[in-house]
């Protein structure tokens, strides 16, 4: 049985839970599991699975400070814990001369779409406004869908400035451990928050729920 994605948080890179989870994703693509691209920094290590549309952020523990540019086999697995997971809804629009993009957005273009067309995220019972135990997510889930299930976000931002240079609107439901960045023209520009209800998610970040 595929592990709940929240159950992956807090484990190290070699955990069986991660292996089982990734193998299940690969089955939906009818391909083989390839090694992730590893990006190491002193305070964070990213495992990027571009074909699977998913990225794991591991945080060093117990004073461990990984050097930059380490390979997978050079990492100290027992000193890393999974802090958050990014799930991508791609492909994003390619940059054109009229619409420049930042280096971080360019990097995101490398991710394929998450291979699950429908999946669910468990919700914190104490914080749920819809009394649902989970939120069902598809590749077309919009801002309105998230708010109707999760309520108003604890934090939000983005959407300001001209369409060519602004960042998309984002919402965070801290008590559920869910942050959503939205894409498309509906998520950018001066009227982004008025149109945002129709914007489709671009990146979902899952982290441990934060209780007040």
pTM above 0.75, yes or no: yes
Dist CA 180 CA 170 (whole Å): 6
Return the number of other C-beta atoms located less than 10 Å from residue 124's C-beta: 17
CA triple 176-57-133, angle to 5 deg: 20
Bridge-partner residues for 48, per DSSP? 37, 55
Q: Is 199 helix (H, G, I), strand (E, B) or coil?
A: coil
Pair 87, 204: CB distance under 8 Å: yes
Residues 6 or more apart whose CB falls under 8 angstroms from that of 78 comprise 12
Q: Is 4 helix (H, G, I), strand (E, B) or coil?
A: coil
Dist CA 3 CA 96 (whole Å): 40
| Per-residue pLDDT of the chain in tens (212 residues, 90 and over written 9) | 456 898 999 999 999 999 999 999 998 887 788 899 999 999 999 999 999 999 999 999 999 999 999 999 999 999 999 999 999 998 544 433 334 444 455 566 789 999 998 999 999 877 666 678 899 999 999 999 999 999 999 999 987 655 445 578 999 999 999 999 999 888 888 788 888 889 999 999 999 998 76
**The two three-digit tokens of residue 181, written as one number:** 């960045």
């Amino acid at each position: 049985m595929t592990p709940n994605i929240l159950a992956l948080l807090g484990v190290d890179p070699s955990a069986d839970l991660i292996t089982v989870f990734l193998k299940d994703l690969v089955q939906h693509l009818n391909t083989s599991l390839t090694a992730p691209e590893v990006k190491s920094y002193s305070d964070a290590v990213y495992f990027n699975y571009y074909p699977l549309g998913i990225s794991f952020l591991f945080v060093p523990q117990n004073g461990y400070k990984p050097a930059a540019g380490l390979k997978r086999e050079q990492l100290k697995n027992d000193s890393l814990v999974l802090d958050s997971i990014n799930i991508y809804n791609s492909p994003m629009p390619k940059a054109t001369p009229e619409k420049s993009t930042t280096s971080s957005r360019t990097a995101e273009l490398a991710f394929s779409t998450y291979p699950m067309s429908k999946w669910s995220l468990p919700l914190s019972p104490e914080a749920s406004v819809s009394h649902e135990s989970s939120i069902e997510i598809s590749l077309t889930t919009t801002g309105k869908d998230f708010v109707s299930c999760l309520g108003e976000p604890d934090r939000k931002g983005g959407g300001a400035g001209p369409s060519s240079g602004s960042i998309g609107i984002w919402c965070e439901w801290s008590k559920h451990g869910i942050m959503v960045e939205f894409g498309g023209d509906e998520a950018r520009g001066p009227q982004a928050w008025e149109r945002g209800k129709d914007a489709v998610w671009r990146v979902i970040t899952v982290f441990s729920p934060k209780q007040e």
